[in-house]
Amino acid sequence: MIAEAGAAGAGPLRDRLGRAAASYAGFLPAALLFGGFFLVPLAIIVCYSFWRVVDYSVVHDWTFDNYTYFFTTPTYVSTMWATLWVSCLATAITIALAFPFAYWLSRHVPRRLRAPLLVLVVVPFWTSYLLRAYSWLTILGEKGLLNRALEGIGITSHPIGLFLYDRPAVILVLVYLYFPFAALTLYSSIERFDWDQLKAAMDLGAPPLTAIRRILVPQVKPGIVTAVIFVFIPVLGEYLTPQIVGGTRGVMIGNLVVNFFNAAQYTRGAAISLLIAAFVIVLLVVFRRSLSAPEAYGA
Amino acid sequence: MELPTPLSAAIGAAPPLGAGAAEATPEVGCEARDRAGISLRRVTKRYGSRVAVAELDLDIRDGEFFCLLGPSGCGKTTTLNLIGGFVAPTEGTVWLRGERIDTLPPHRRPVNTVFQSYALFPHMTVRENVAFGLRMDGVPKGKARVRVDEALALVGLEAQAESAPAQLSGGQQQRVAVARALVKRPAVLLLDEPLGALDLKLRQRLQVELAQIHHEVGTTFVYVTHDQEEAMSLADRIAVLNDGRIEQVGTPEEIYRRPVSRFVADFIGHANFIEVEVEGDAARLRDGTRIPCGGRHPDGPATLMLRPEAIRLVAADDPEGRLSGLVLKASFLGSQMRVAVESPASELPLILSLPGHEATAVPEPGTAVGLAWGADDALILEPAGATPR
């Protein structure tokens, strides 16, 4: 009896496994790509971060030195904190500008004008990132547009160097560069909102701000979270913008990575890259409930 | 309006006005008897140069089922929004039970709305939707729960309390919207084409339900619709709006039997319009026939209005016949028979509607007939293309 049952059970089980294998076979290309281009390189970087460089070559000596070196060097630690607050501030400003824009676009712009306006938002992507960052030099520089305009109006008598080569310039350019991502994501989220709901909430006794907090925000939250992630993660690893408009005072953690790799300090560079990755993971864990895949890809 | 007979009893609606209504709804104070539930005083709303509502004067009584009826763009939804607080009047004032409310924001008005789109909150359950207004008012949890249950029972949705709005049918969502608004026990319930999104059968069923709910709670209902049949079947009184102005306010029967303008006569039910010339106490038709019209009308061009069912078919030589003509076409439609008669007195053929069970024989096309009607059934209205009054 038992033997029979076992034999009878084994057949279907094998069948089931076979079917499962067959149904997962479709994932194979994706799994290979993901493994080959993401997991393996990541594993290499993790290993690098625990090795040492001796005479410009990597030695497979396991050590925490790279991490202790980073955290015991005050400049690096302060750069890390600066990167965090610059990223947070740039993200906050981007969202704070993109949200009203998306709101305005979906509420006050006639339907036929929305598509052209959205195209205008995306137009900057048609030029290279470098070009867009460099063009700010001609606006913010000592002989730039801004200084000349100020002198023209008579507010200043000599060029002000303040606009360039510091963190404000970095934040400004980052906001400019990442605004389209946030605007598109937020728009796709707000555009689906039924505004009668806000009217209904106020009709039921909610003051305007309560209505927004209780009714609008919960429903567009996935869009806001997605926008935050779309902006914060790339900004955290930025190195070109701080290099172009930030100068020595605008250095971000991404510049440290580049510097270390340029100086053949691969293991230290790897350790810092993993620090950035750690921040990203923390962010994703915090927001994991609110992040919806359709929202991210709908935009 | 001028019509003296109260008609609501004949229609079978709840007593609409005055002392009767005040007794039926005890929470209404004595002064409500002479103070309208809602009053709009010379209210004008302009959007730029476009006038949505012009110098509106309107009194809606406490406990009344009041319909704002008119074609799209006539200003009926704007009027509703003026009461609800979503639109501020450019000029004029809005009063609720003797207190001025046009300066209050929507959330401070004891008025709740059922939106055409229902505007249910998708991230809350049915119960949370209905409880929202009570939470905003700070009603204690236990008390709120009882009232939410009552409201859900009123609309028959106890079993769906924990569902999400998206799981409900259109009719159920509509009921949630009603329960959510009524749970706050508003002085006035505003309904903006609440059945517009539903199919005909469901709409008719929900009309009966809404009438029952109104009867049960006794709250003033202000109901916007463009469907004259819906307005006629629900309302104690109707205001017919056209182009931002009130054409007429009255019970369904008043509006049907005594329309004050061609627009109202045309919008409510069917009507025959005959172009006439008023001369003293008679109206002269284009073939010279003179029809007495009481002499209350100024001389000059005018319209003679006749409802299809007010005209009787008589023999061509019957002295009762006021007009003569030839039958163009007769169609038997079951409950009624429709006959088109061509007459030299009218540019357009006249349409008659005879009760189906009385019509013994369908008249042949070409038969010479006489047309008769009661002296009160013909109304003199403004001529085509003129503005009334």
Residue A194 lies in a domain: yes
Please list every residue in chain A whose beta carbon sits closer than 8 Å to the beta carbon of residue B84: 203
**For A183-187, A246-250, A268-272, which range has the lowest pLDDT when averaged over its residues?**
A246-250
Residue B181 lies in a domain: no
- The answer on A151 and A104 residing in a single domain is yes
Query: What residues 183-202 of chain B have any CB closer than 8 A to a CB of chain A?
Result: 184
Residue B300 lies in a domain: yes
Are the beta carbons of B132 and A206 separated by less than 8 Å?
A: yes
- The answer on B246 and B297 residing in a single domain is no
- The answer on A86 and A28 residing in a single domain is no
Q: Which pLDDT score is estimated for B23?
A: 39
Q: What is the mean pLDDT of chain A?
A: 85
A100 Cα to chain B: minimum distance (Å): 21
- The answer on B206 and B96 residing in a single domain is yes
Spell B172-211 as b/e; 16+ CB within 10 A means b: bbbbbbbbbbbbbbbbbbbbbbbbeebeeeebeebbebbb
- The answer on B247 and B103 residing in a single domain is yes
* Tokens found for residue B28: 């209404």
Question: How much is the CA Rg of chain A, to the nearest whole Å?
Answer: 26
Comparing CB atoms, the residue among B120, B123, B137 nearest residue A205 is B137
Question: What whole-number percentage of chain A has pLDDT above 70?
Answer: 91
Residue B168 lies in a domain: no
- The answer on A72 and A30 residing in a single domain is no
The verdict on ipTM greater than 0.85 is: no
- The answer on A205 and A99 residing in a single domain is yes
A202 Cα to chain B: minimum distance (Å): 5
Q: Which pLDDT score is estimated for A126?
A: 87
Q: Closest residue of A to B132, CA-based?
A: A204
Q: What is the mean pLDDT of chain B?
A: 85
Comparing CB atoms, the residue among B105, B116, B136 nearest residue A204 is B136
Please list every residue in chain A whose beta carbon sits closer than 8 Å to the beta carbon of residue B122: 219
Residue B53 lies in a domain: yes
- The answer on A236 and A133 residing in a single domain is yes
> What residue ranges of chain B have pLDDT lower than 70?
1-36, 294-295, 358-361, 387-389
> Which of A189, A197, A198, A203 has the most B C-beta neighbours within 10 Å, making it the best mutation to test the interface with B?
A203
- The answer on B202 and B94 residing in a single domain is yes
User: Which domain, by its residues, includes B83?
Assistant: 8-110+186-257
- Could you say which of B257, B292, B319 is where a domain stops? B257
Comparing CB atoms, the residue among A196, A208, A218 nearest residue B119 is A196
Do residues B94 and B100 make contact, with C-beta atoms less than 8 angstroms apart? yes
CA distance B147 to B134: 9
Are the beta carbons of B106 and A199 separated by less than 8 Å?
A: yes
- The answer on B253 and B352 residing in a single domain is no
- The answer on A169 and A40 residing in a single domain is no
Q: Closest residue of A to B139, CA-based?
A: A205
B375 Cα to chain A: minimum distance (Å): 50
For the segment A260-274, the average pLDDT, to the nearest whole number, is: 90
Residue A55 lies in a domain: no
Q: Does A290 touch chain B (CB under 8 A)?
A: no
- Could you say which of B232, B257, B282 is where a domain stops? B257
Q: Does A202 touch chain B (CB under 8 A)?
A: yes
CA distance A83 to A187: 28
Do residues B323 and B289 make contact, with C-beta atoms less than 8 angstroms apart? yes
Going across the sheet that includes B272-279, the strands are: B290-292, B282-284, B272-279, B300-306, B379-381
Do residues B179 and B168 make contact, with C-beta atoms less than 8 angstroms apart? no
Q: Closest residue of B to A220, CA-based?
A: B123
Q: Which pLDDT score is estimated for B35?
A: 54
For the segment A20-32, the average pLDDT, to the nearest whole number, is: 84
User: Which domain, by its residues, includes A193?
Assistant: 65-298
Do residues B297 and B380 make contact, with C-beta atoms less than 8 angstroms apart? yes
Comparing CB atoms, the residue among B85, B111, B119 nearest residue A200 is B119
What are B190-215's pLDDT values in tens digits? 999 998 888 888 888 899 999 999 99
- The answer on A173 and A81 residing in a single domain is yes
The domain that holds A114 is classified in CATH as 1.10.3720.10
Are the beta carbons of B111 and A200 separated by less than 8 Å?
A: no
- Could you say which of B233, B257, B281 is where a domain stops? B257
Q: Does B181 touch chain A (CB under 8 A)?
A: yes
- The answer on B201 and B241 residing in a single domain is yes
B108 Cα to chain A: minimum distance (Å): 6
Are the beta carbons of A207 and B180 separated by less than 8 Å?
A: no
A294 or B76, greater pLDDT: B76
Do residues B115 and A200 make contact, with C-beta atoms less than 8 angstroms apart? yes
Comparing CB atoms, the residue among B84, B107, B113 nearest residue A206 is B107
- The answer on B252 and B275 residing in a single domain is no
Please name the residue that has the structure tokens 């970095």: A170
Are the beta carbons of B106 and A202 separated by less than 8 Å?
A: yes
Q: How many domains does one find in chain A?
A: 2
Q: Which pLDDT score is estimated for A152?
A: 79
CA distance B142 to B341: 68
Residue A251 lies in a domain: yes
Question: How much is the CA Rg of chain B, to the nearest whole Å?
Answer: 24
* The dihedral sign for the CA sequence B267, B273, B277, B283: negative
Do residues B66 and B231 make contact, with C-beta atoms less than 8 angstroms apart? no
The pTM score is 0.73
DSSP string, chain A: -HHHHHHHHHHHHHHHHHHHHHHHHTTHHHHHHHIIIIIHHHHHHHHHHTSEEETTEEE----SHHHHHHHH-HHHHHHHHHHHHHHHHHHHHHHHHHHHHHHHHHHHS-HHHHHHHHHHHHGGGGS-HHHHHHHHHHHHSTTSHHHHHHHHHTS-SS--GGGSSSHHHHHHHHHHHHHHHHHHHHHHHHTT--THHHHHHHHTT--HHHHIIIIIHHHHHHHHHHHHHHHHHHHHT--HHIIIIIGGGG--HHHHHHHHHHTT-HHHHHHHHHHHHHHHHHHHHHHTTT--HHHHHH-
Q: Which pLDDT score is estimated for B83?
A: 93
Q: Does A196 touch chain B (CB under 8 A)?
A: yes
* Tokens found for residue B280: 């003293």
CA distance A86 to A231: 12
Q: pLDDT-derived band of residue A40, with 50, 70 and 90 as boundaries?
A: very high
Residue B131 lies in a domain: no
Are the beta carbons of A203 and B106 separated by less than 8 Å?
A: yes
Q: Which pLDDT score is estimated for B13?
A: 37
Are the beta carbons of A200 and B115 separated by less than 8 Å?
A: yes
Residue A182 lies in a domain: yes
Residue B115 lies in a domain: no
Please list every residue in chain B whose beta carbon sits closer than 8 Å to the beta carbon of residue A194: 117, 119
Q: Closest residue of B to A210, CA-based?
A: B136
- The answer on B235 and B283 residing in a single domain is no
- The answer on B73 and B18 residing in a single domain is yes
The domain that holds B191 is classified in CATH as 3.40.50.300
Burial of B149 (0-12, 13-18, 19+ CB in 10 A): middle
CA distance A76 to A172: 23
- The answer on A136 and A95 residing in a single domain is yes
Q: Does A203 touch chain B (CB under 8 A)?
A: yes
- The answer on B362 and B231 residing in a single domain is no
**Residue B160, φ and ψ in degrees, nearest 5:** -100, 10
Which residues are CB-neighbours of B115 under 8 A, at least 6 positions away?
A: A196, A199, A200, B177, B192, B194
Query: What residues 209-268 of chain A have any CB closer than 8 A to a CB of chain B?
Result: 210-211, 214-215, 218-219
B138 Cα to chain A: minimum distance (Å): 10
CA B144 to the chain's CA centroid: 35
Residue B19 lies in a domain: yes
Residue A240 lies in a domain: yes
Q: Which pLDDT score is estimated for B15?
A: 37
Residue A57 lies in a domain: no
B385 or A64, greater pLDDT: A64
Q: How many domains does one find in chain B?
A: 2
Are the beta carbons of B136 and A200 separated by less than 8 Å?
A: no
Q: Closest residue of B to A204, CA-based?
A: B133
Please list every residue in chain B whose beta carbon sits closer than 8 Å to the beta carbon of residue A219: 122-123
3-state secondary structure chain B: CCCCCCCHHHHCCCCCCHHHHHHHCCCCCHHHHCCCCEEEEEEEEEECCEEEEEEEEEEECCCCEEEEECCCCCCHHHHHHHHHCCCCCCEEEEEECCEECCCCCHHHCCEEEECCCCCCCCCCCHHHHHHHHHHHHCCCHHHHHHHHHHHHHHCCCHHHCCCCHHHCCHHHHHHHHHHHHHCCCCCEEEEECCCCCCCHHHHHHHHHHHHHHHHHHCCEEEEEECCHHHHHHHCCEEEEEECCEEEEEECHHHHHHCCCCHHHHHHCCCCEEEEEEEECCEEECCCCCEEECCCCCCCEEEEEEECHHHCEEEECCCCCCCEEEEEEEEEECCCEEEEEEECCCCCCCEEEEEECCCCCCCCCCCCEEEEECCHHHCEEECCCCCCCC
Residue B116 lies in a domain: no
Are the beta carbons of A219 and B107 separated by less than 8 Å?
A: no
CA distance A135 to A132: 5
- The answer on A225 and A161 residing in a single domain is yes
Q: Which pLDDT score is estimated for A154?
A: 75
**For A98-102, A163-167, B317-321, which range has the lowest pLDDT when averaged over its residues?**
A163-167
Residue A56 lies in a domain: no
DSSP-assigned beta bridge partners for residue A54: A57
CA distance A285 to B73: 51
- The answer on A29 and A106 residing in a single domain is no
Total residues found in chain A within this entry: 299
- The answer on B278 and B253 residing in a single domain is no
Residue A59 lies in a domain: no
Q: Which pLDDT score is estimated for A85?
A: 93
- The answer on A84 and A11 residing in a single domain is no
Q: Closest residue of B to A194, CA-based?
A: B119
Q: Does A197 touch chain B (CB under 8 A)?
A: yes
Q: Which pLDDT score is estimated for B318?
A: 85
The domain that holds B351 is classified in CATH as 2.40.50.140
- The answer on B348 and B219 residing in a single domain is no
- The answer on A154 and A249 residing in a single domain is yes
